[in-house]
Structure 1
Amino acid sequence: MKKLPEHFIFGGATAAYQAEGATQEDGKGAVAWDAFLKEEGRFSPNPASDFYHQYPVDIELCEKFGVNGLRLSIAWSRIFPDGVGEPNPKGIAYYHDVFKQCIEHNVIPFVTLHHFDTPKALFDQGDFLNRDNLDAFVAYAKFCFEEFTEVKHWSTFNEIYPVATNQYLLGVFPPGIHFDFSKVIMCLHNMMVAHARTVNIFKDNKYPGEIGVVHSLETKYPVSDSPEDIHAAFLEDAISIRFLLEATYLGRYTDDLLAALDEICAAQNASYDFLEADYLEMEKASHRNDFLGINHYQCHFCKAYQGPNEIYHNGTGEKGSSVYRVNGIAERIYRDDIPRTDWDWLIYPQGMYDLLVRIKKDYPHYKKIYITENGMGYKDEFEDGVILDTPRIDYLRQYLSAISDAITDGVNVEGYFLWSLMDLFSWTNGYNKRYGLFYVDFETQKRYPKESAYWYKQLSETKTII
């Protein structure tokens, strides 16, 4: 049996658009997802988990089941319907009450400022490709720091890499653009600049609490020992992990990273332009991050690939249907000896361990890490209120054991936030991919604790992985 520290946070994770529903209530402004999902016609973000009305129930469940940290996001357009301008009093009052409920139930709120939901008025002006929108985000963040003083744990962004790639590479997020690496690279960079500016304002104004960023980091391995496959894994890692960590912790991209970007751009007919003023802002912030949030679900085994770009996103749970081949970078290979979920996500906890140890080694001033998302999407079976999700428990046991091993080896991990607290709406899967500790009947919005909820409660109480 392995242990986790006494002070460890056993959290649950949500996101505003995926949980709240109520997308047009009480003055909330539109986001690009509203129209995008309506045009696709596959599923609706309403009612999601109806957290907008059900949050007292969910926060009470947190306390009852030992979930002592709740990761949630503020919907920017609930505070500023157009992203800028006059704030919306009803949106402000709503979040004040959510945070109050958390504190009253001994649940620490960990709040993300941006979780895939830029207000549509700003999104339509280019989202984070438009430098003016960086100013709007920083102003919104500053407003939140000064308004929501009850919050002591802030994240600027959730998953900058998926924002850039899902919008401009895979095309599964609005605006649905495919294979545009110029936009991918500039989106990554501009969002990291916005992060740095926000961190510097937070620290310069001496706001209480801590601030960091949440990165989605999926460990890359070569599928063979050939120099070509090793290089393919290096290129995949460069754009999806190293880019973000260097921007976060060095404040300036190394020559090796820039050489990798140049090689990718040559293969993809792309370009980039980074300003010296951006580097100065990022360098100032590089030693001021209080924590790194890591969302980690899977790893990739990479093979060298030259050929047409081809990506098929498995959004239905049809196992074996994923395809990822990008010219001049890599093809992702599924090894038969590694299990995977119905959505083709490899179950490989060694990748979690390797990632954590790497961060300690490469960025020794990292301070601390929270695992802000990890979990298993599963087709839960509901039988008269009983949900036996043993495969999810097995998954959690493996990944938490890897975290325990990393802590034993000196990595400062201070919390784990299971994705997700309750079943919720998934951006590209709708409602058929369930992650929650609590099963949601989306017709009645009634919550049912799963077998995993009782397991997680015992873990929180004993700090022992069994």
Structure 2
Amino acid sequence: MQYRFPDNFWWGSASSAAQTEGAALRDGKAPTNWDHWFKTQPNRFFNQVGPEDTSTFYDRFRDDIQLMKKIGHNSFRTSISWARLIPDGNGEVNQTAVDFYNALFDELVENGIEPFITLFHFDMPFSMQEKGGWENREVIDAFAQYAETCFKLFGHKVKYWFTFNEPIVPVEGGYLYDFHYPNVVDFRRAATVAYHTMLAHAKAVKHYRDLNLDGQIGIVLNLTPSYPRSQNPADLKAANIADLLFNRSFLDPAVKGEYPQALVDLLRQHDQLPDCTPEDAVLLQGGKVDILGVNYYMPRRVKARENAVNPDSPFMPEWFFDPYEMPGRKMNPHRGWEIYEKGIYDILTNLKDNYGNLPCYISENGMGVEGENRFLEDGQINDQYRIEFVREHLRWLHKGISEGANCLGYHMWTFIDNWSWSNAYKNRYGFVQLDLETQTRTIKKSGEWYAEVSKNNGF
């Protein structure tokens, strides 16, 4: 069967400043939460590889953009480093950073690659983190100023802006599950961080609209469908609460401008609501997005809890459900994640049926593999498993679009194998292989395949 995608479909990939630029403390860039954490606890990072060098995009972006062109990109998402552009988080703009980002955006546009730019991809300037990060409303205002600065500097070149990437991840990692700095376990503080992030998003959206720029502003959310083990009411309730906490907590305010009442009721019942003001509600209403980026990697499967909650344990999402391992599920054996391609269709259907079918695109989808060098053949990584992964997801994406879903593109994570937070280079995701020692780039089989898909606008 032929799978053809709509005209002007976006084919590309996604990455972020902190994961690719390197030059972490060069040319006026201030430390981020990641630079600080790596300095204080390098043992928390795989093979003790920190954000200092990563894939040297800061120095090699021109060559890398030629590679993007070679593998069929007409669009590419990355982020601006807040700590590079405004080293104190608030105040003086670093002109060297302005020059770098101008050169980067010019180079992309000149090569026919539309820049999609994220303002915040997990990298908080450490000066802002020291003030309490997203727990502090002062940081919301600093972010809004940073956003406005970006729009004024680059808004005539960049037409697609995204305030946050996966805003739930710093909440989960930093304030619930101990896999991001500041390694706090406290649900109420987590809820405050989540809420303040959406207020920061709404302020940035307001600044963007006030400037009357010719473009669109959105947010990138990792939407992970919550599937119940069975149709038993207890399992259905567990899945619904997981969906409220992990998906709708950001999707509803971003698209509808308000929080689901069921989520508010749940948090109020357990005394976990953040402090809110009446002005906040007005602000959130004005923060509805023009476009939504959807990151999808794997499903979340849940069942009703099997044991009573320990009343002395910290309040956690897992008070309401247990993870469920479905027999016969398809696995990525190299990463331990379930592969469920239909999830991408279910997300699009939900957006179409329940969220006004707003314009969206798949902003990340990908397959991480550890020890990928074992698939080297004649100097090239033969990642047939990645080709199959992308192809099967694109089939379900095509079905969603053919049924009316308003999906405009597909970006894979990621372009070149990049540094992945505390996992560093453990799992490789790129279309292009990176040799860490020499920084040599080599296109994988999947990169060649993707170039064909892009050229033919389908397969």
**Per the shorter chain, which TM-score range?**
over 0.9
Q: 2: CA distance between counterparts of 1:354 and 1:453?
A: 27
2:117 is paired with a residue whose SS is strand
The 1-side partners of 2:250 and 2:391 are apart by 28
- Tell me how far apart the structure 1 counterparts of residues 318 and 7 of structure 2 sit (CA, whole Å): 47
* Residue type at the aligned position of 1:297: Y
> Pairwise mapping of residues 276-291 of structure 1 onto structure 2 (< 5 A)?
276-286=278-288, 289-291=289-291
Once the two structures are superposed, residues 109-141 of structure 1 have per-residue CA deviations (whole angstroms, 9 ceiling, x without a partner) of 100011001100001111111001010000001
Q: 1:356 aligns with which of 348, 366, 372?
A: 348
Residues 1:128 and 1:273: Cα distance change in structure 2 (over 3 Å): same
1:432 maps to which residue?
426
For structure 1, list consecutive stretches of 5 or more residues without a partner in the other structure: 312-324
Aligned residues: percent identity?
35
Whether the aligned pair in 2 keeps the contact of 1:239 and 1:261 (CA below 8 Å) is no
Are 1:378 and 2:385 counterparts? Answer: no
* Structure 1 counterpart SS, 2:382: coil
Is the alpha carbon distance of 1:407 and 1:327 closer, same or farther for their aligned partners in structure 2, counting shifts above 3 Å?
closer
The one of 92, 97, 108 aligned to 1:102:
108
Give the whole-Å Cα distance in 2 for the aligned partners of 1:243 and 1:167.
Answer: 17
Segment drifting more, 184-193 vs 386-395: 184-193
Q: Distance in 1 between matches of 2:152 and 2:215?
A: 12
Per-residue CA deviation, residues 222-279 of structure 1 (Å, 9 max, x unaligned), is 112221111111111001111212111222223223223345xx2xx63423222111
- The answer as to 2:129 corresponding to 1:123 is yes
TM normalised by structure 1 equals 0.92
Could you tell me which residue of structure 1 aligns to residue 148 of structure 2?
142
Q: Does the residue aligned with 2:422 lie in a helix, a strand or coil? A: coil
Q: Find the counterpart in structure 1 of residue 9 from structure 2.
A: 8
| Superposition map of 1:46-195 within 5 A | 46-148=52-154, 149-178=156-185, 180-195=186-201
Distance 2:54 2:290 in 1: 32
In the alignment, the residues of structure 1 paired with residue 310 and residue 404 of structure 2 have an alpha-carbon distance, to the nearest angstrom, of 43
Please report the TM-score for the alignment, with normalisation by the length of structure 2. 0.93
What's 1:249 paired with? 255
One-letter code aligned to 2:95 = P
Q: Secondary structure at the match of 1:3?
A: coil
Unpaired runs of 5+ residues, structure 2, are: none
User: What residue number does 1:314 align with?
Assistant: none
Once the two structures are TM-superposed, the CA of residue 308 in structure 1 deviates from its matched residue by 5.0
Contact 1:293–1:369 under 8 Å retained in 2: yes
Instruction: Quote how far apart the aligned CAs of 1:326 are.
Output: 4.7
Contact 1:22 1:46 in 2 (8 A): yes
Distance in 2 (CA, whole Å) between partners of 1:308 and 1:122 is: 35
Q: Give CA deviations for 1:300-346 in whole Å, capped at 9, x if unaligned.
A: 1101224359x9xxxxxxxxxxxxx9542211122231122233221
Query: Aligned with 2:36: secondary structure?
Result: helix
- Map 1:293-442 to 2 at 5 A: 293-305=293-305, 306-308=308-310, 326-341=317-332, 342-364=334-356, 366-379=357-370, 380-381=372-373, 382-442=376-436
SS, match of residue 380 in structure 2: coil
Report the number of matched residues.
Answer: 443
Distance (Å, rounded) in 2 between the aligned partners of 1:141 and 1:195: 9
Whole-Å separation in 2 of the counterparts to 1:428 and 1:110: 25
**Distance of 2:138 and 2:167 partners within structure 1:** 18
How far is 1:461 from its partner?
0.9
> 1:124-164 deviations in whole A, cap 9, x for unaligned?
11111100101000000101101112111110011111121
DSSP 3-state at the match of 2:338: coil
**Structure 2 CA distance for aligned equivalents of residues 27 and 7 of structure 1:** 39
Find the aligned partners of 1:384 and 1:362 in 2 and give their Cα distance.
49
**1: CA distance between counterparts of 2:435 and 2:395?**
31
Which residue in the other structure is 1:31 paired with?
A: 32
* Residues 1:326 and 1:292: Cα distance change in structure 2 (over 3 Å): closer
2-structure distance, mates of 1:151, 1:201 = 15
CA displacement, residues 159-203 of structure 1 (integer Å, 9 cap, x when unaligned): 11112111101111000112x111221111111111111111211
Alignment match, 2:213: 207
Residues 254, 165 of structure 1: CA spacing in aligned structure 2 closer, same or farther, 3 A cutoff?
Answer: same
In 2, Cα distance between the equivalents of 1:171 and 1:190?
Answer: 20
Question: Separation in 1 of the partners of 2:353 and 2:273?
Answer: 31
- SS of match in other structure, 1:253: coil
Q: Deviations over 1:369-402 (max 9, x none)?
A: 0111111001322345210001111110111111
1:258 alignment partner in structure 2:
264
CA contact (8 A) 2:222 2:294 kept: yes
Q: Does the CA contact (< 8 Å) of 2:79 and 2:119 recur in 1?
A: yes
Measured against aligned partners, the alpha-carbon deviations of 1:328-371 in whole angstroms (never above 9, x if no partner) come to 2211122231122233221001111111110111111x530011
Q: Distance in 1 between matches of 2:93 and 2:197?
A: 23
